[in-house]
Structure 1
Amino acid sequence: MSKLSRSLPDGAVRQKGGTVVSREEILKLRDVADLLKVGEKTVYSMAQAGELPAFKVRGQWRFSRKDIDAWIEQQKHTTQDLGEDGQK
C-alpha cells in the first residue's frame, strides 16, 4: 500500500489527477436480489413502491450498499418488535 493511499479517509480512493472521491458501493438490482435471497422481480417491485432505498440511473435501478445495509438493520428491529402473528 502506498503512502498516499494510507492517508485517504476510509472508503475513499484517489483518481488519476489526484482527486479523492468516495468509494461507496453501488449495487445493481440483481446484486440486491442475491443479497436479500429474493427474486429480481421482488426487488424491482419493492423499489418501485418505495419500500427499498433506491434511485434510477437512465431508467435502471441502483442501490447504495450503505442504504441497503441500514434498511436490513431496520427490518430486523421492526420484525423483532412484532409477535409471531405479526401484531405488537
Structure 2
Amino acid sequence: MSIENRTGLELLTIPEVGTILKISVPTVRRLQQQRKIPFFKVGGCVRFIRSDIDAYLQKRRVRSVDEYQ
C-alpha cells in the first residue's frame, strides 16, 4: 500500500512498483540493485517515489515515426 507523507511524495514498495510497471518483483529488485531506478532506504526498507517511476517510464518511451516529423 502506498503512503503519502507530509511533503506530498507518494512512496512505493517494491511490489507496488512491480505492479505499476507490470514486471516481477525480482525484476524491480534487479533494476534497483543496478541503480537504474532511483530509490532510497528507510530503516533498511527500499522505497521509491512515484514521480521517479513516472520519469523512468518517460525516459524509456520510444517515439512513433509520426513524432519525428
Shorter chain as normaliser: what TM range?
0.7 to 0.9
Q: What's the RMSD between the two structures over aligned residues?
A: 1.8
Work out whether 1:30 is the aligned partner of 2:34: no
Aligned residue type for 1:27? L
The secondary structure found in structure 2 opposite 1:22 is: coil
Task: Write out aligned runs for 1:1-88 (5 A).
Answer: 21-76=6-61, 79-80=62-63
- Large movers: runs of 4+ above 2 Å: none
* Letter of the 2:10 counterpart: E
Higher relative contact order (CA 8 A, sep 6+): 2
Q: Give 1:57's aligned amino acid.
A: V
Displacement of 1:24 in angstroms is 1.2
Q: Distance in 1 between matches of 2:9 and 2:41?
A: 16
Answer with 1 or 2: which has the greater Rg: 1
Q: Report percent identity of matched pairs.
A: 33
Structure 1: 5+ residue stretches without partners: 1-12, 14-20, 82-88
Mind listing any 5+ residue stretches in structure 2 that lack a counterpart?
A: 65-69
* Counterpart in the other structure of 2:67: none
Q: Distance in 2 between matches of 1:22 and 1:51?
A: 24
TM-score by length of 1: 0.61
TM-score (norm 2): 0.76
